[in-house]
Each structure stands twice: as C-alpha cells, then as structure tokens.
Structure 1
Amino acid sequence: MRVSQRSGLFSGVAALACATVLLEISLARIHAAMFGEPHAFVTLALSLVGAGVGGALLYLAPSLVCPPALFARMAALSSLSSGATLAAIILLAQRGPAPGSLPWLALVYAACTLPFALAGLALAAAIRHAAAEMPRLYLLDLVGGALGGLAAAAALRAGAPRAALAAAIFFAVAGVFFYLASRGREGEQRAQGGLVATFVLGSFVLLAGDFGAPWLKLAGLRRASPDRTEHEAWSERSLITVDRPRAGTAMMRIDSVAASPILDAKTTPPPQPEDMAYALHRDQGPALVVGAGGGRDLRAALKAGQKDVYAVESDRGVVEVMRGRYAEFNGHLLDKPEVHLVMGDGRSFARRAPLLFRNIVIPSADTAEASSTGALALSESRLATVEGIGDFLSRLLPEGTLVVSRADGDFDRLLALTAAALRRAGASAPKDHLFACSAAQRTALLARRTPLARADIEALRRHCRRHKFSEAFAPDRPQTPVRDRLVAVADARAAAPDARTDLTPPTDDRPFFSYAIPARRLPALLGDWKALRAEHKAVFALSALLAVASGLFALAALLPVLAARAGRLLRRGDAAAAAAPLPRGRAGGGGRRALAFFAATGGGFALVELAVFRHALLLLDLPSHELPAALVILLVSGGLGGLLTARVAPSAAAGVSARVAEALVVAAALAAAGLVPLARWSLGLGSFPRAVLALALLVPFGLLAGSLAPLGVKLVSAVSPALLPLCWALGALAGAAAMALGALCAMNLGYSALLLGAGLAYLLAAATVPPAAAGAPALGDAERAPPRAGAAAAGDPPPGDPPPGEATGQAAGAQPEVPEAAPVA
C-alpha cells in the first residue's frame, strides 16, 4: 500500500497529536492516583516540555530528521514514542523506593517526558520541512488533539493504564502513516518496516493481553488500605476504590484524597455535625444534599423523616458504584422514592430549581491528610466562595438552614467566608446567624438567612451535647477572639493580621478554598523546600515545574549564541569566517524578534487557556464530560484559526500577526472584567444556553490564538527556516512555565489577574512580530510554488552557519523540501 507524501504527513501528524493528548490525560490520572492531585496538573505540562526539548534538539542537530530521510526518521520517532510510552507504563507499575522520594519522582517524570520529546522532535521536523503547509498541518495537529481528548473520555472508563496503552497504539499508527509516506517518492529513504511493525503489534498485544489476562497493576497507587480494597474502578475524573465492609460500612475513596462511607441498608447512620439542621426542622423539607457520595448524608436526612431529598452528584463513577456493585448493599438508596438524584453541578441546580429548600447540606469528603498537607490547593471549590454561599442562601426558605462542613483547620476561613456572604445578603450582624460544632477533625457550620432565636441556639447546643460534639462557634460563645473579630469586621485580614493562614474569603475569581498561604509569607515559603514538601505539596509541585520549565527555556533561548560561538571556535583557523557577522534570523535582530514572538504567544496562550478554559468548564453542564467537550471546542477552533491564515501573503503576515495579537490583548482585558459575572449569571440558565455561551467564549479565543503560530511560521520560514524548531521550542517551554506561574497567580490574585497577564504577553507578541522578508512573494505564491528539488537533502547546515538562502544568494522566500509536489491552493 502506498500513500502520497502529503496524505502520509497529515495523517501521521494527526495520529501523533491524538496520541499525545490521550497520553497526557492518561498520565495525569495515573499520577493523581499514585502521587496526589497536584501531580496531575504538573503532568499536563509534560507535553509542552517534551515539545520544547524536541524542537531544541532539532535546532542543534538538524540532520537528525531531514530529507531524504524525513519520513523514515519520523516513522522511527513515532515508533520509539510508542516504545517509550510502554516503558513508562511498565516503570509506573514498579514499586518505587519510597512514595515521596524525589529521585524516584524525577525518574518517573523523565520517563514520562520521553515519549513527548520524541513526538515533539517529529512534529518540529514536520513544521521545519513543510512550513508552506503549516495552516493545514496546524489544523490537523489540533483536530488530532481534539480526537485524543474524546478518546480519553472513552478510554479512561477502561482504566488510565489501559488508556496509556491505547496512546502507545496511536503513536505506532502514526509511525505506519509516515512509513507509507516514505514509499511515495523516488529517492526518499524508506523507513524500517520491521521497527514500525514491532511497536504496532507489540502495543496491540500488550493491550489485548491486559483485557484477557490482566497484567498491568500500578504498584504505587495511594490506597489507604490496599490489603482491604475490595473494588477498584476508574472514571473520567478519578480512581475509585471501596474497602471491604466492616461493621456495616464500606469506605469509598476517590484518589485517596476523599473518602465517603457506604452504609449497609440495615446500619443506622452515625450522627455527624452536618445533621444539625434536622435538630431544628425534623422532618420538614425539602432538603438538598450537594455531593451524594456514599450516601451517608442521604441516610441521615431519611432518618430524620425527610420525604423529599434532592441529591446532587457530579461524578458518574460514584453513581455507578452506588447503583452497581453496591446497590444491594446500600439498599438501592439512590432509587428510593424519597431520593431525587441529579447529575450535575450543585450550585447550578440550586439556582435553576423551581423550589426553595428548608435544608441544604454541603458535606466535605476531603481526607484530613490531604487537607493538612496542601494536596488539595489546586482543587477548586466554587461552592465555597462568597458568591457560592450567597447563591445557596438565596435558595433557602426564610427559616431554612445551610450547613457546610470542612476540616478543622479550614474552619476559620469558612467562618469568614460565610460571614462575608451573609453580610452581602443584607445581614447587619452575621454572628447572630451562625452556629458550629465539630467531631472527628471536621467542623460543620450552620447558617440561616434570619437570626437564630435563643430557643434555636439552645436546641442546637443540646443536639451537640447529646452526641458529644464540640461546640466551635455560637452567637454568645465565639470560642476565640479571632472568630469573634472575623464575624464582626468586613476585612478578614484586619481581624487577624498575623495569622499564618490567609483568612480572606475566596471568591469566584479566586476560588481555591484549600489554598491558604498569605501573600506576605509566600516568598519566604518558596525558599523553604522542606516546608513546602511537608505542608504545601501543590505549591511545591508548581514551584518545581516552574523551575524546570524556566531553566529549559533560558537554556533554549541561549542556544543561538552558544551555537554561534561553538561554530566560530571550530573555524578559528579561518580568519574571514571568524570575523563574519552572525546571520540574520539566527542571533540578529530579526531572529531575536522571532524567538520573543513565539515565546510570548506560547506563554499567552497557556495563560488564556487556564482562565478561559476554567470558565468554560463552569458553563458546560455535562457531568464528567466538561473537560473533553471544552478541549474539543478550543482545539478545533484553534485549528480553524490557523487554517484561515493559509491565504495570507508572507508580505502581509507581519501586519496581520500584529493586529491579531492586539485583538487578543483587548479580548483578554474584556474577559478579565466580564468572565466572572457572566459565569455566575449563566448558572441560572438551562444546559443549551450555557453551551452556546461556552461556544461564544471559546471559539473567538481559539480562532485568534490559533492563527498566531501559523503566521509566525510563515514569517520565520521566509527569512530563516532553520530557526523554526527553536521558535517552536521556546513557545512550548514558555507555555509550560506560564502554566505553573499562571496557577500560582490565580491562587494568589485570581483569574482576572491571570487574564491581564495574558494580555501583557500578547502585547509583547504584537511588539515583537518578526519582520517580513524583503521581496516576499505575492498572495499565495509561497504556498503555490513547487518545492525545490533536492533542497536540504543532506540536512541543514550547523547552527552557526548561514541558512541556505543566505549562503547561496537564493530568494529569501524560497522554501526547503516540502513533501508533495503540488501544494493545495
């Protein structure tokens, strides 16, 4: 079978992108289950780090992947990516020396980055040697990535390790397409069919074998009690395990950071502080439980005599456990006539529900260890924000109560947050509306829209004493001076200026409820890595990512200078060569502008993606499928934006790039001012209008941001094609560093500040647009002109030498070998 070089190139790049995104998401889920949730975020940046490393390698050694061995080498790299993926999964299946060992983590991350680096090298080669096809190539790259997101949504149901094996298959399939393309032109070196076939068959056999006789067991999963685990299932969001029942209770755990008991149908639910509301209202309803989990809070509501209990759950995997294997055990709790199950977001449901509630309970399933070590700092809670608490308070009957539970260490923040929400709702003295008690390292806070009467306070107090709960706050007994001040003053920082935790109430713009480092302490804490590792794991992971990505970025940015100096040392005996000026586009003004442009666009896109993507997830009402849906919209629109640049003439590309970057500056500023109000307003809308809003938000950003990379490639390829891999590398590494810096920025300043930072990045991009080549061809000429036969057949010159066009006097707009003789018009 033979395919044209163009078809092989496009199909191979799409399969490569699909495998990359699938592997990225699969590894994120595996790392979350093995090392903790912060590592999932870091893993999402590995593909960018790998792309940066691959591009830098191609710049340093252009002969690695070039005609006439272009497709043969790309086939080999894709096959090796498949093999590296298999090796990384096998390594993860081995038990490390210690769960938190830094050398072990470094080895794991290096192994998991290798497939992305090999794939990044192949993609950089495709861009380098088919620059004239960049708009279509970019479209297929992003569409392939979108397909990888959809594949992840389906493959994760079979388990994250199997999803990673599926990614290895897609890498191998990309190798097949490049192999077939290597047979499409006379003179092209053919790929090694045996190497390609080995990884295609090997990856298929390993995946099929795991279905037939499971062999892939991740030894380092963070199970609280691995010897007692009875059931294990992967969902799109997490790894769910259930312990063997003990004393009528089976503990369900989610990634070992959350735990929720599943009670036997005959077991009476033990009293918890969250049940305070029923001490006042008894069987009066209706009741709303946000986060059904294992159903303990539903059982407590039924025990109190509630006849209408609305249970909201956003994780389909949890519902499948409750309605599947453990349905008989829990007495078909979710199917009882008194229980009304709702799949979706609790805050959105409360806003849209056509009734008011007498009781709203928001339990917390976070484990004490996850809360105390800062492992949940990247897990946003838009329920526990000033606006979120306000939304729930507005859905209560006048005498209704809201009960929110958090770990003991978070209670002061919860108190300040609820007092701020009550104050915004019109309460002049918030302390008269609050009561709290605690047990088993958890504190539940009860809030009411109307002040608690003396009889209500005494009833709550008797309830707590009867069940041996500790009273944590009451209008007449605030327990500590800090708590008294927190509910009395509007500025939480003024109430406790020396507090070791940040008591500022979280908002929809800054929703990280589990992040509690005051800004004044952050610089000192970042310098104390031991304290970070022990108490703030999420910040430690972000700091490590930022350090590695920034270091690689700085090293890549210096490569032109280092390569030029090395070249001059090698030619030291030739006085004329040693004195020659550096070529334009390498370390000259045009080259520096090109590198700065790609770095700014890469960083800006990462910042925009973090903020806009997060708000799009809030708009989409697709439980467990918001991530793949938003990913598909953003990637496909970005690819279409790149395709729209196909007919932009190289002579006009600089002006168009500047205008697009300026438009993104304006869009980022508008989003910073309007995204949070828009997202909150949309919570009261139905699914379809919210989906339309998500499209209206993602598509313009995707179209604009997606057009900058192809425009930049068009400009650089016309002046110094050999600089393209380094430009691509700097854009990817800047994106990885921006992800870490952006998360830290959002946690401390909010998403609006992050969007303003993206605006500054695009402003820099507008100011550093590479100049168009003198005498650039007219509209479409560069795309329509046939390729130069035999160009770059022996590879590019060393990094210190001039590009071919400058060395031989060829036209500045001439392109190196472009696969396929007749580019698409």
Structure 2
Amino acid sequence: MLNKPSFLIGVFLISFANLLFELLLVRIASVTLAPQTAFVVISVVMCGMTIGALLVFLLPGLIRNERADLWISASALLFAITEFAATLIHLHTKFATNYYQIGFLQFSLAYTTLLLPFVLSGICICLALARFPQYLAKTYAADLCGAAFACLALPALLTVFDGVSACIFVACLSALSGLAFAIGKSKRLVASSLILATLFFSLSLFNLQSHTMKIEWRVGVKEGPVDFESWNSYSRLIQKPPHKGAPFFWSKSSSAPNFYTEEIYLLIDSVAGTMMPFYDGNLEKVGFLKFDATNAGYYLRDNANVLVIGVGGGRDILSALVFGARAVTGVEINQSIINLLTGRCSLFNQIARNPRVHLVNEDGRTFMIRTEQKFDFIQISLVDTFAATVSGAMSFSENSIYTVEAWRLALERLSDRGIFSFSYWHSEKIPFFHRFVYTAAAALRSQNIDNPTRHMILLQNKGNVDHVRTLLVCRSPFSKQDIDKIREVANRLHYKIIFDPEQVDSSDEAQMLSEFDPTKEPKYYHLAPATDDRPFPFSFTPFPWEQIFVHPEGIPLVVSLVFAVCGILLPLALTKRNFSFVRAIPL
C-alpha cells in the first residue's frame, strides 16, 4: 500500500539532497582541484545517475519485486552514507602539486569515489519513478521541485554552514528521504533512518564549530593556518593570519625604497590571492603603492573621481587615496570581501570608514550599466579568481568584463579626460595580453575613433620575462603633457613603455602590437577581441589533442569518457534486452 504523501516527500528530499550535494561538490572541487577541472563534478553526477538508472533497466525484477519499496528506502540511506564517506575521502586526497598536472590514476580514483553516491541516488530516483507508473506525473513533479528548491537553497545554506559541514547536513537530508520512503514499510529502516539523520545532523553542527572535517589539501598544497573562512555559492574565502615585512607588489619598481608594513593574505578558492594592507587612516603607511606599475596611470590625473572594479583586499582603493583621489567607488561582486572590509577587518584596514570611499556589492559591468556617474579614472587590476561556479563548464572560462562591449561601456563612463587602466599578467610563451590591447582598440573604434594610437599607452616593469603589464586607455587623445609625464615617471621608476601615442619600442612585438591588428599574430593563437557573443577571453589556442593525457582539461575528459563507455555504453551493448542505440539518440 502506497503512502502517497510520505512517498512524494521522499522523492522531493532525495532530489533536493542529490542536487545540493552536486552544487557543493563543485564548490569544494574548485578549491581542492585546479579550477578548470572542477566541472568534472557535473560529469560525475550525470554518469553516476545514469549508471544507477541503467542498473534498474537491466534488473527489471527490482521494480516488480515485492521488496522494491525497501530498495528505494535502502538506496536513499546508502546515498547518505556514501555521500559522507566520499566527502571525507576527497578532503584528504592530495592531488598533484603542479596546478597544471593532475595524474590520470589519481583523478580516476577521485572520480570513482565521488561516483558511487550518485549511482545510488540514480537507483533511488529511477525506482521511485518506475515503481508506481500511475503516479508518474506527481512523482516527476516532486523530483523537479526538489532539484529546483536545491538551487534556491544553496546560497542560504552557505550562509549558515561552511561547504564541508553543508555536505554533512545534506547526508542528514538524504537519511530523512529514506525515512519518508520507509514509513509504513519497515520499522527497521525507519529506525535506521532516524539514527542516521540524527547522527549526520549532530555531526554537521559539531563540525561547524570544530572544523574537524575540513579541506586538507588545496591543489596539492597543505592548507596552512586560517584565521577566518567564509563560503558562498561562488567562492570560498579564507583569511590568513597577519604578517609583517616587505609589502606585496604586483609589479614593483626597481627604484622603490625599502618599506615595512603589515598585511593579511586573502585567498579565494584554490589560486586567487589578494593582499589587504594595514591602513589606520594614515596614507603615508601605504606610500609603497606609488611604486607599483599597476598604478602608473594615477600620475596623470590628480583629484580624480575613481571607480575601482574588484576591490579585493583594498589595495586599489588605497592606491587611489594615496594619489589624492577626491572620491573612490569600489565595486566588489563578492559579498564575503565586503563583509570583511566593513566588519571583521574594519579596524585593520579602515577604507570603509574613509568618507571618500563608497563600497558597492555588485558585478562591475552591471554597476557601469546602472550608474550615471562619470569617472576620471577606472581601474581593473588582475581581478580574476578563476573560481568554478555551479552553472556549468563554460562558466569557468567566460568573463563578460573583458569583452569589447564591456570596455566600450567603461569608455562611456569616463569623463572627457578620463583614463581606463587595465593590468594583467603577460607571458612570453602565450602572449594573451595582446588580446586585451586589441580589445581596447576595438572598443575605441566602436566609439568612432579611427586612430586608437593617440588614446593608448602600454607599459611594464623592465627586465622581467613573466610580468604584469598595464594598459592605459584615454577617452580623448593623450595630451603632450600626459605623454611627457608618463615618460618622466617611467624613467624615474624604471618602467618600460612599449608604446605611447608618439613612439613605439623597437622590438618586433611592440611594432606588431602598435598596428592593433590581431590577424598579424601567429596563426596558432586566437587573439581576436572577445565579444558578448563569444565571451571567452582566456581561450587562446586550439585544444592540444596530442597532449590529452597530460593536459589539465584532457585528463578529466579521458576519465569521464572511460567511465561513460565502461559504465554505460558497454553494459548496454552486452545486454540481451531489446535496445537500439540509434533510437536512443535524441534528435
């Protein structure tokens, strides 16, 4: 006899827990693995649930068996147990130290560990859908509602729990789904479900306070001391203990004197770091910021109204204040960083208390669309976190702040003499900064400026092979006074001007860049400007298929294909049941 309310609640809860665990795994894998491989979690989920459904298909007796109802409840309980175990094993797995290398066998083991819980959830959901065909519409609706509410619940859940404790709490929800399925079927399963749900709920609260279960390895690096940790649906932010010594520079001038300061290191997910300098209201203590090449553009504009996109630890805002900005608007998408600056770290770094500073929690491009302000200086300096989001694989490489349309919008938000300053890494091996130069030129041309040369200055520190470059783009042509000033600054601080409106460095690279024509680049590189229709600014080269077994995206692809073939296609090919691959392919 079917207890319809409890059965539908069980379907809702297992679907809710299943998708929540998937979303949380993406967040955790973005820390433990190289971010570009975190998308493999989606493959794990789809493969695991398909294998679970395939087992039900290959063993039809499970549906017709009088113990099928017990199998539904038992598989939900096993999902809870294996989900907890898989999380624990993954947290203690040391992946390759090299950010770009993940071993094939090591990744296969991680894939297998994470696959098992989703095989069990696939069995549970498939059995629930097939067991009572007369209630298929309502069962399917409960399944969809559970998944939908999981998406809505994730941000709220991560305001209460950290990522690891949230996974334990999800195990509690899975046990509750087993309880709902077991009601009226088996007192033993009811008791087991209650015990497991109570145990996992207690463990989640205990871990929230003690952090006994925590991330041990971050891309093969042992996690050191952490003063504070904050999770949300798009990042994990940790605050390291304050340290004293020489300040951090993105691109330090060789003429900089010795400085001594105190800083806090903030880390977002696995690789994106930012420094929070000590600032008690005395700008002389952060005077070292005048010797960072990323701030060279400030020498050209005094008393500026500044927009900083990507606040991070507050360095760029402090840079604007050091150079005498009359007002600074800092736009930061990560609420956790805003909370640090306005709460926990508001005494260590007091930019939020400065009357000239206004902090906004919003996406940078969205803010530029919404605001009607005009700015004398807009700064974007190495703002990428490379954190994996939960919306799919493409979201790991797309970025709408680096497209022609976004930079045209930035130019529109500049005052007549306003400057847009952009800083990013440059490598001699892959000249990806060239794409940003071409993007700026395309944005200028979209403003009916036929000769971008008069509007752009590109500089860097001297002597480095892999370094940070800074591109200055002015809405109006740079004046003779601007050009003389930036040359004087470059000479004094030992910067190298690659090109300015009046001269171009003698190197072949500089000569090619000054033509602003990406078709002159080597054919192997795709360096045309990114657009809103193709917002992938970090896609520079074709996929190296010959290196598929060593490439950071290749290994997850191979592992996923092996499991799909061995776990899905091969069993279907060997089954004696009537099945057609051709009919199974969707149109």
Query: TM-score if structure 2 supplies the norm length?
Result: 0.86
In the other structure, the counterpart of 2:306 is: 287
TM superposition shift of 1:232: 2.8
State the AA in 2 paired with 1:24: E
Cα gap change, 1:545/1:318 in structure 2, threshold over 3 Å: closer, same or farther? farther
Instruction: Establish whether residue 239 from structure 1 lines up as the match of residue 236 from structure 2.
Output: yes
Equivalent residue for 1:511, pick from 525, 535, 538: 535
Secondary structure in structure 2 of the residue aligned to 1:527? helix
Distance 1:433 1:377 in 2: 32
- The structure 2 residue matched to 1:551, chosen from 544, 565, 584, is 565
- Aligned: 1:146 with 2:144: no
The within-5 A match list for 1:623-634 is: none
Describe the shift of the 1:200–1:422 C-alpha distance in structure 2 as closer, same or farther (beyond 3 A): same
From 321, 326, 329, the equivalent of 1:307 is 326
1:482 positional shift: 4.1
Structure 1 residue identity aligned to 2:89: L
Asked if 1 retains the 8 angstrom alpha-carbon contact of 2:63 and 2:130, the reply is no
Partner of residue 210, structure 1: 207
Q: Does 1:429 align with 2:451?
A: yes
Identify the residue that residue 562 of structure 1 maps to in structure 2. 574
* Aligned residue number for residue 178 of structure 1: 181
Whether 1:347 and 2:341 are equivalent positions in the alignment is no
**Higher strand proportion, which one?**
2
Q: CA deviation at 1:479?
A: 5.0
Q: Runs of 5+ in structure 1 lacking a partner?
A: 184-189, 568-585, 601-763, 765-825
Partner residue of 2:520?
495
User: Could you say if the C-alpha distance between residues 557 and 42 of structure 1 is closer, same or farther in structure 2, counting changes exceeding 3 Å?
Assistant: closer
Retained in 1: the 8 A contact 2:309–2:364? Answer: yes
Distance change (3 Å), C-alpha of 1:377 and 1:143: closer
8 A Cα contact 1:376 1:514, kept in partner: no
Equivalent position amino acid for 1:164 in 2: C
SS of residue paired to 2:336:
helix
Task: From the CA coordinates, give the structure whose radius of gyration is larger.
Answer: 1
Q: What is the CA deviation profile of residues 281-336 of structure 1, one whole-angstrom value per residue up to 9, with x for unaligned ones? A: 111x21100111111010011111112111100000111122222111112x1232
Deviation per CA, 1:733-763, whole angstroms, max 9, x where unpaired? xxxxxxxxxxxxxxxxxxxxxxxxxxxxxxx
Alignment of 1:580-591 (within 5 A): 586-587=578-579
Structure having greater relative contact order (Cα 8 Å, sep ≥ 6): 1
Checking the alignment, whether the CA contact within 8 Å between 2:79 and 2:118 is kept in structure 1 is yes
In structure 2, the residue matched to 1:123 is 125
Distance 1:204 1:424, change over 3 A: same
Conservation of the 8 A alpha-carbon contact between 1:437 and 1:471: yes
Query: Match of 2:115, as an amino acid?
Result: T
Shift in alpha-carbon separation, 1:325–1:337, aligned structure 2, 3 A: same
**In structure 2, distance between residues paired with 1:97 and 1:550:** 23
Match of 1:360 in 2: 378
Secondary structure of the corresponding residue to residue 438 of structure 1: strand
- 1:192 counterpart residue number: 189
Gap change, CA 1:459 and 1:202, over 3 Å in 2: same
* Residue-by-residue CA offset, 1:204-226 (whole Å, 9 max, x unaligned): 23213213543112211349784
1:528 pairs with 2:547: yes
Cα gap change, 1:30/1:457 in structure 2, threshold over 3 Å: closer, same or farther? same
Conserved 8 A contact 1:260-1:365: no
Distance in 1 (CA, whole Å) between partners of 2:469 and 2:48 is 44
Name the CA shift for 1:367/1:73 in 2 (closer, same or farther; >3 Å): closer
CA distance in 2 between counterparts of 1:147 and 1:463 reads 56
Report the 3-state secondary structure (helix = DSSP H, G, I; strand = E; otherwise coil) of the residue aligned with 2:497. strand
Flag the 1:452–1:302 CA change in 2: closer, same or farther, 3 A: same
Aligned-partner Cα distance in 1 for 2:195–2:327: 60
Shift of 1:443: 0.9
1:447 alignment partner AA:
V
State the alpha-carbon separation in 1 of the partners of residues 105 and 62 from structure 2. 31
Q: In structure 1, how many angstroms separate the alpha carbons of the residues matched to 2:140 and 2:53?
A: 16
Tell whether the 8 Å contact from 2:96 to 2:220 is kept in structure 1 after alignment. no
Q: Deviations over 1:555-608 (max 9, x none)?
A: 6356555222xx8xxxxxxxxxxxxxxxxxx336xx953x22xxx2xxxxxxxx
Residue 81 (structure 1) aligns with: 79
Distance 1:207 1:550 in 2: 33
Does structure 1 retain, via aligned residues, the 8 Å contact 2:104–2:559? no
1:81, distance to aligned residue in structure 2 (A): 0.2
Q: Report the alpha carbon displacement of residue 228 of structure 1 after superposing the two structures with TM.
A: 5.2
Compared with structure 1, are the counterparts of its residues 330 and 224 closer, same or farther at alpha carbon in structure 2 (3 Å cutoff)?
farther
Instruction: Letter of the 2:179 partner, please give it.
Output: V
Distance 1:215 1:304, change over 3 A: same
**Secondary structure of residue in 2 paired with 1:471:** strand
CA contact (8 A) 1:435 1:445 kept: yes
Q: Secondary structure at the match of 1:312?
A: strand
- Contact 1:42-1:545 at 8 Å conserved across structures: no
Contact 1:262 1:330 in 2 (8 A): yes
Are the aligned partners of 1:7 and 1:181 in contact in 2 as well (CA < 8 Å)? no
Distance 1:220 1:52 in 2: 30
| Rounded Cα–Cα distance in structure 2 between residues aligned with 1:233 and 1:474 | 43
What one-letter code is carried by the residue in structure 2 that aligns with 1:350? M
Query: How much identity, in percent, do the aligned residues show?
Result: 25
Contact conserved, 2:263 with 2:276, CA < 8 A, in 1? Answer: yes
SS at match of 1:68: coil
Change (3 A) 1:424 1:412: same
Q: Distance in 1 between matches of 2:449 and 2:209?
A: 63
- Report if the CA contact (8 A) 2:217-2:223 is conserved: no
Deviation at 1:40, TM superposition (A): 2.7
In 1, the alpha carbon distance for the partners of 2:220 and 2:579 equals 52
Distance 2:218 2:38 in 1: 14
**268-277 or 69-78, which moves further after superposition?**
268-277
For 1:402-441, list aligned pairs within 5 A. Answer: 402-409=420-427, 410-439=432-461, 441=467
What secondary structure is seen at the aligned counterpart in 2 of 1:324? helix
Contact 1:223 1:256 in 2 (8 A): no
2:268 aligned partner, one-letter code = I
Once the two structures are superposed, residues 31-66 of structure 1 have per-residue CA deviations (whole angstroms, 9 ceiling, x without a partner) of 111112223322133221121110111112223454
Equivalence for 1:386: 404
Q: What is the Cα-based RMSD across aligned positions, in Å? A: 2.8
Maintained 8 Å contact 2:94/2:220: no
Distance 1:16 1:367, change over 3 A: closer
Q: In the TM superposition, what is the alpha-carbon distance from 1:87 to its structure 2 partner? A: 0.5
**Is this contact kept in 2: 1:38–1:376, CA < 8 A?**
no
Write the deviation string for residues 654-693 of structure 1: whole angstroms up to 9, x where unpaired.
Answer: xxxxxxxxxxxxxxxxxxxxxxxxxxxxxxxxxxxxxxxx
CA distance in 1, matches of 2:563, 2:416: 53
- More helix per residue: 1
Q: What SS is found at the alignment partner of 1:278? A: helix
Give the one of 467, 477, 483 matched to 2:504.
477
CA separation of 1:224/1:95 partners in 2, compared to 1, >3 Å: closer, same or farther?
closer
Letter in 1 for 2:108: A
Normalising by structure 1, we get a TM-score of 0.62
CA distance in 2: counterparts of 1:435 and 1:149, whole angstroms: 45
